[in-house]
Amino acid sequence: MASVARSFSRIASQTAPRSSCSSTLRTATTFNARRALARQTFQPSSRRGYASGSSGGSSTTPYILGILGLAGAGGAYFYFNNGGLTQLKEGSSGESRGVFTPSKDDYQKVYNLIASRLEEKDDYDDGSYGPVIVRLAWHCSGTYDKDTNTGGSNGATMRFAPEGDHGANAGLKAARDFLEPVKQKFPWITYSDLWTLAGVCAIQEMQGPVVPWRPGRTDRDVTMCTPDGRLPDGAKEQSHLRAIFGRMGFDDREIVALSGAHALGRCHTDRSGFDGPWSFSPTVVSNDYFRLLLGEKWSFKKWDGPKQYQDVATKSLMMLPTDMALIKDKEFRKHVERYAKDDQAFFSEFRDVLVKLLELGVPFQSKPEDRMSLKPTTSE
């Protein structure tokens, strides 16, 4: 049903001035010093690549922590993106083209590839990887702690076992693996930027609002993994929600707006322990989550799993204790009621709070007005 709804909804609706990366090595001392620097820079980084599983394998995309001068017969050189050394770039005939600064058009190409994969790869839940991509973007950002200025999307530290193995991140290997071919196609983009851009893409391609986004995140190593327990626990209630989201700097209205993402996707017994979708159209962004919370009757599900609710009418939908907390709590409920009545209000406020979430803790060199709105392929 969700796949049909998604399909029906869709039917209805590089360059700076040339700079030399090589330098003349005038003495053996200088040469040896630079060779030592290169060795010190590359060797500790050999294990700091993409890892979708819990094991720490070697990487084909090492972190480069210093600026290295290289000379090559073909004029190849390394270029920089937002302070991070990322990838070799050559012209079509092998000539050096200068320092590459990705433009909006370059990011649109990344977006388009993600969108095309979302369209083509329909062998995941309810026919779309979209919801799990949104969850990846959400979980890599939702670890931020405003008091210590740690965590957040800057770093993509979920690549490493300590964070990737956190219970709240179970199942996100599927999302990371889904995006790996995109990273291979566009190696200049950091994982941190890729994951958040993919979240924006998934929201837009599932009929959600256009979400402004900007690059500038860098990838970090395993030492920057965040401690477990920073993401919401669906088995708890309003005090827990305020503690978790308050740590990130969100108020009651923003907590409810972000919770609207539960219109998407479903829970799995082999991941969270819970089971089922929140809405009848789990691959379409809508205000259905709020309408169903208020409009349906809910009762405890009788089963051997953790405490969760199911709709009385069809017994096919579920809500978590954290979801029900939004209508039990007076301050939360007034926002639920407002979003249930006005989908445009929800879209507008969800867009704004999602932008905030994806940027938490990121030391951007750009300004908020530099955010870009990338074109959804569904509008073509």
Catalytic residue (one of 139, 166, 262, 335)? 139
Measured in Å, how far apart are the chain's first and last C-alpha atoms? 24
Tokens encoding 194 = 């890729």
Residue of 109, 265, 106 lying closest to 174 (CA atoms): 265
Three state DSSP letters for the chain: CHHHHHHHHHHHCCCCCCCCCCCCCCCHHHHHHHHHHHHHHHHHHCCCCCCCCCCCCCCCCCCECCCCCCCCCCCCEEEEECCEEEEEECCCCCCCCCCCCCCHHHHHHHHHHHHHHHHHCCCCHHHCCHHHHHHHHHHHHCCCECCCCECCCCECHHHCHHHHCCHHHCCCHHHHHHHHHHHHHCCCCCHHHHHHHHHHHHHHHCCCCCCCECCCCCECCHHHCCCCCCCCCCCCCHHHHHHHHHHHCCCHHHHHHHHHHHHCCEECCCCCCCCEECCCCCCCCCCHHHHHHHHCCEEECCCCCCCCEEECCCCCCEECHHHHHHHHCHHHHHHHHHHHHCHHHHHHHHHHHHHHHHHCCCCCCCCHHHCECCCCHHHC
User: How far apart (Å, rounded) are the C-alpha atoms in residues 203 and 210?
Assistant: 8
Catalytic residue (one of 195, 213, 278, 298)? 278
Residue 198 contacts residue 110 (beta carbons within 8 Å): no
User: How far apart (Å, rounded) are the C-alpha atoms in residues 155 and 51?
Assistant: 13
Annotated active-site residue 166? The verdict is no
How many CA atoms within 13 Å lie on the side-chain side of 326? 27
Annotated active-site residue 240? The verdict is no
User: How far apart (Å, rounded) are the C-alpha atoms in residues 93 and 74?
Assistant: 9
Q: Catalogue the active-site residues.
A: 139, 278
